[in-house]
Amino acid sequence: MNTKFIFVTGGVLSSLGKGLAAASMGTLLKARGLNVTILKLDPYINVDPGTMNPFQHGEVYVTDDGAETDLDLGHYERFLDQHLGQANNFTSGRIYNNVITKERRGDYLGGTVQVIPHITDEIKQAILSVASDDLDVAIVEIGGTIGDIEGLPFVEAIRQMRNDLGKDNVLYVHLTLVPYIKTAGEIKTKPTQHSVKELRSIGIQPDIILCRSEVELSDEIKAKISLFCNVDKDAVFTCIDVESIYDLPLSLYEEGLDQKIAILLRLSAKNPNLHTWEELVKKVHNPKGRTSIAIVGKYVDLKEAYKSLHEALIHGGIANDYAVDLVYVNSEEITSENCAEKLAGVKGILVPGGFGSRGVEGKIETIRYARENKIPFFGICLGMQCAVIEFARNVLKFKGADSEEFAEKTPYPVIYLMKEWFDIRKKSIQRRDKESEKGGTMRLGAYPCVVKPETRAYEAYGVAQVSERHRHRFEFNKMYAKDFEKNGMTISGFSPDETLVEIVEIQDHPWFLACQFHPEFNSNPLHPHPLFREFVKATIQYTK
């Protein structure tokens, strides 16, 4: 095994940006010609975030293999421009579940099962599962904050790994907060000192300290942190607040982070080629103009709930050399009377996914407004289902048309649970245990989609078949397909066997397209998703 490991921990408080720091490190090491992957270890007891409220946890990110994961995997995929999967995200719940399953099976031969060594060994096995002869570096982010009781088994496991693999193969990077007290005009290092002290008390001496700060740290401040935290002077780096998250790799490169990592891990790596990334950042900071797009959903009070969507729209702007201003609108507050006022001034409207009936009528009203006023519209997952319901009610005049998710006895179930498909799926599924449990009621992960020629979808993709990621239970009811197509809604994407509808659009409209899948999960700044590129282009061309 040639893989070396970088463990990223965080101190002082949460939401410092460990995920972005880890992703930026991966970007820099990949630019040096190294083969890199990233893992996220989450201390919460949930087996995965699939059942967690977006207000608490943010979005649930879905990978090609159907894993429901932490949103940081989205950062990893976007920054590294590569696909990850179930092996890149483990939680305490999953680790404990694996250990309990082994104990029930008798794998421990009747021995007492304990946190050390059984839980820690399971964690180490999860980390080592990604190692291979052709993988140079695995970056492992430990979720939570040092000192959290639920994170202790993970910290103990990574402590053991230096003893297992040797100093040249394991590196500890600690991200802390260095606050700037504006009223005093002083930078305070005490929180960092206490955080490192807490980490050292558990048995880990960090090799590198990343200091999250709103101001540049002087050499004197870095020397002080070096002295009190027992790290090399050239191993203390400013992780300064940046205007765009895509500035961060270049900022850390200027600090010399990747060079220090290469030295400490004895990596045979060439100088980084960051030309493509530099060009990307130039585009971000020098747009030709601006456009505005409303995101109408029910989780808008927590922007992290739509993180991938936010970034995909930014990517669509990059593809068009435009900046995108996002206006978040709570769908629960929208009515037919105030819709025009709530959406005044925007050049495009996007209705995202979600579960449950709350806020759905506001989404439907929003879509009616976009359709009738010829405003560029993009619907995703539930957004597509709402577009179908709106069209059925207001164009087809199907009174009471709805989804079986919201109204089981609707006279027109234009969106329904396709039980026959799920029954077949249950019998044929060969994937991981979790998907075996949920695969019968939810489409998760990547599925192929055939794109109909001479449609906006085909114009965007430029190919006849694509692969997109899904996370939903209910489907377009094909029993009504002819009614929709006869009245102006085109089915432009469907499954290869033509049983499932994937994309619908309206031709007599500047740009009206909705899809059952989540294209935001397949977008990154270097390769913006075609549908987001075309949607943003339509908003740029829109004139009221």
- Active-site residue, 520 included: yes
Q: What is the pairing mode between strands 36-42 and 186-187? A: unpaired
Q: Spot the catalytic one: 502, 518, 529, 534.
A: 518
Residues of the chain with pLDDT > 70: what percent?
A: 95
Distance CA 174, CA 307 (A): 24
Residue 505: phi and psi, rounded to 5, are -155, 160
- Which of 44-48, 110-114, 239-243 is predicted with the least confidence, judged by mean pLDDT? 44-48
User: Is the model's pLDDT at 474 over the cut of 90?
Assistant: yes
* Residues in contact with 486: Cβ distance below 8 Å, sequence separation at least 6, in sequence order: none
Residue 544: exposed, middle, or buried by beta-carbon count in 10 A (0-12, 13-18, 19+)? exposed
Q: Are residues 183 and 324 in the same domain?
A: no
Q: Are residues 377 and 525 in the same domain?
A: yes
369 and 340 Cβ atoms separated by less than 8 Å: yes
User: Is the model's pLDDT at 419 over the cut of 70?
Assistant: no
User: Is the model's pLDDT at 427 over the cut of 60?
Assistant: no
The arithmetic mean of pLDDT across residues 109-128, rounded, is: 95
- Check residue 112 and give its pLDDT: 94
381 is a domain residue: yes
DSSP character at residue 502: E
- Active-site residue, 518 included: yes
Q: Are residues 194 and 338 in the same domain?
A: no
Q: Are residues 134 and 12 in the same domain?
A: yes
- Check residue 435 and give its pLDDT: 39
Q: Spot the catalytic one: 211, 229, 239, 381.
A: 381
Q: Are residues 62 and 8 in the same domain?
A: yes
Q: Are residues 153 and 10 in the same domain?
A: yes
Q: Can you give the C-alpha Rg of the chain in angstroms?
A: 25
What is the edge-to-edge ordering of all strands in the sheet holding 475-476?
402-403, 413-416, 475-476
Q: Are residues 181 and 302 in the same domain?
A: no
463 is a domain residue: no
Residue 141: phi and psi, rounded to 5, are -95, 125
Residue 97 belongs to a domain with what CATH number?
3.40.50.300
- Which of 119-128, 437-446, 454-463 is predicted with the least confidence, judged by mean pLDDT? 437-446
- Total domains in the chain come to 2
Distance CA 338, CA 369 (A): 11
* Residues in contact with 64: Cβ distance below 8 Å, sequence separation at least 6, in sequence order: 83, 85, 445, 446, 467, 469
Q: Are residues 333 and 259 in the same domain?
A: no
For 217-276, how does the pLDDT look when each residue is reduced to its tens digit (9 = 90+)? 999 999 999 999 999 999 999 999 999 999 999 999 999 999 999 999 999 888 899 999
For 384-393, how does the pLDDT look when each residue is reduced to its tens digit (9 = 90+)? 999 999 999 9
Q: Which of 258, 280, 302 is the last residue of a domain?
A: 280
Q: Spot the catalytic one: 405, 435, 520, 534.
A: 520
- Active-site residue, 211 included: no
Residue 400 belongs to a domain with what CATH number?
3.40.50.880
Q: Are residues 535 and 487 in the same domain?
A: yes
436 is a domain residue: no
- Structural domain boundaries enclosing 218: 4-280
- Check residue 14 and give its pLDDT: 83
Instruction: Please give the structure tokens belonging to residue 526.
Output: 């270097």
Residues of the chain with pLDDT > 90: what percent?
A: 84
Q: Which of 257, 280, 303 is the last residue of a domain?
A: 280
320 is a domain residue: yes
Q: Are residues 329 and 202 in the same domain?
A: no
| Closest listed residue to residue 140, CA positions, set 298, 51, 23, 48 | 23
- Check residue 442 and give its pLDDT: 82
Distance CA 40, CA 234 (A): 27
83 is a domain residue: yes
466 is a domain residue: no
Distance CA 448, CA 328 (A): 31
89 is a domain residue: yes
Q: Are residues 131 and 251 in the same domain?
A: yes
357 is a domain residue: yes
Confidence of residue 428 (pLDDT cuts 50, 70, 90): very low
**Residue 302 CA: distances (Å) to CA of 84, 496, 523:** 25, 37, 21
Confidence of residue 12 (pLDDT cuts 50, 70, 90): confident
- Check residue 48 and give its pLDDT: 85
DSSP character at residue 527: B
The overall average pLDDT reported for the chain is 92
Q: Are residues 241 and 382 in the same domain?
A: no
pTM above 0.85, yes or no: yes
| Closest listed residue to residue 40, CA positions, set 17, 69, 12 | 69
Distance CA 45, CA 97 (A): 10
Q: Which of 263, 280, 297 is the last residue of a domain?
A: 280
Sign of the alpha-carbon dihedral angle for 457, 460, 464, 470:
negative
* Residues in contact with 195: Cβ distance below 8 Å, sequence separation at least 6, in sequence order: 11, 12, 146, 174, 176
48 and 272 Cβ atoms separated by less than 8 Å: no
Distance CA 544, CA 540 (A): 11
